[in-house]
Amino acid sequence: MLSPVRFRPLITGLVAALAATFAVLVVHSGPAAAHGNVVSPASRNYGCFERWGSRFQDPAMATEDPMCWRAWQANPNAMWNWNGLFREGVAGRHETVIPDGQLCSAGRTESGRYNAMDAAGNWKTTSIGGSFTVSLFDGARHGADYIRVYVTKPGYDPVTSPLTWSDLELIKTVPNTPAAQWTRQLSNGVQIDIPASAAGRSGRAMVYTIWQASHSDQSYYFCSDVNFGGVTEPTTPPPSSPSTSVSPSTSTPPVAGSCVATHTVTSQWQGGFQGEIKVTAGSAAIKGWTVSLTYPGTPPIQQAWNAGLTVNGNTVQATNVSYNGGLAASGSTSFGFLASGGPAAPTITCAATS
């Protein structure tokens, strides 16, 4: 069980509004059984995470990226858990189970966490050409029973209309593809790059992707806002934690045991900060890790991603989640967290299972 801790960042303006939202949050383990998203053209919630994950408290979001601003206010966990937009038990009945107007939230899955993704509005777009690539990241290496890529029909306007099934045209189907056959084998998962074509299209549209993971009956649903007529940008794999505007100059010390963990403050504001813990395996591969963070007083951590947390007195124990426990010799992963107060460097220990 995770210990609930209220999040009260002492910031003004937009930040105060966000604080009111975060006040009801509890320390969580991040996405425990859901591990992927379309990273290019970026889905709505991954795009918001990519652009604002390291500065979600920045008032500029309200004017520069208003749809993301509304989504952060509605439920910040939709972005922190960017790889958790899935639904179980669909059994291939996508059009029956997911109602019109709720395609981007997977039918208001996860108790409504992703509802803001359904909102019609001026979401940021990715410029693409008539021939483009859909890049799907799979952090848990589930692979796919199948992947379907749709594009909205001419005349559909995502600025004014929520997405319905009749708005979509199927343009690509990828058959059963084990994770070992995906295009890119990455240290933190796999990625498949799917070529697609919508010749003759111009202007705004939406690319809709269904990923039927080869894991239980997990169906993932992603809405990507695009602008046909641009040039496709090179794709990169997603980060394991938010990118930051701070460039820490920390280095990983030599690993004397099974693993070592280092602490970095990546961003801070009045009344709070964001940190990252990097975990590095020793001279042998490991199957899992546990990092203990001991503070002089009450632990300041309020929320974390890519790790499961428990609190005991002045110690926070962070354990890997299902997709980032296995590390090759000298391999690394990381998890991030939000904390209250001023930056505090804990005493850190790391233990691993091999």
- Quick: pLDDT tens for 237-287: 454 433 333 333 334 445 657 899 999 887 777 778 878 899 998 888 999
pLDDT of 231 > 90? The answer is no
Report pLDDT for 28. Answer: 33
Q: What is the pLDDT of residues 85-107, one digit of tens each?
A: 999 999 999 999 999 999 999 99
The stretches of 39-194 forming alpha helices (DSSP H) are 44-52, 61-64, 66-74, 77-80, 94-97, 109-112
Cα distance from N-terminal residue to C-terminal residue, the chain:
25
* Alpha carbons 94 and 75: distance in angstroms, whole number: 25
Q: Largest alpha-carbon pair distance within the chain?
A: 63
CATH 2.60.40.290 range(s) for the chain read 1-30+239-354
What does the pLDDT average to over 323-348?
Answer: 85
70: CB partners within 8 A, 6+ apart = 116, 119, 121
* pTM exceeding 0.75: no
Q: Is the pLDDT of residue 5 over 80?
A: no
pLDDT for the residue numbered 230: 52
Residue 57 in contact with residue 9, Cβ under 8 Å?
yes
For 288, other C-beta atoms within 10 Å of its C-beta total: 17
Query: 241 Cβ partners below 8 Å, 6+ apart?
Result: 53, 276, 305, 306, 334, 335, 336
Which pLDDT belongs to residue 108?
96
Domain with CATH 2.70.50.50 in the chain: 33-228
Q: Tell me the CATH number for domain 33-228.
A: 2.70.50.50
> Does 45 score more than 80 pLDDT?
yes
- Are 7 and 23 in contact by the 8 Å Cβ rule? The answer is yes
Q: E strand or H helix at 281, and its extent?
A: strand 272-281
Residue 119 CA to its chain's centroid (Å): 19
For residues 125-142, average pLDDT: 93
Does residue 179 register a pLDDT over 60?
A: yes
Mean of the per-residue pLDDT values of the chain: 83
Question: So what's the pLDDT on residue 293?
Answer: 95
What is the model's pLDDT at position 273? Answer: 82
The domain defined by 1-30+239-354 folds into Immunoglobulin-like (2.60.40)
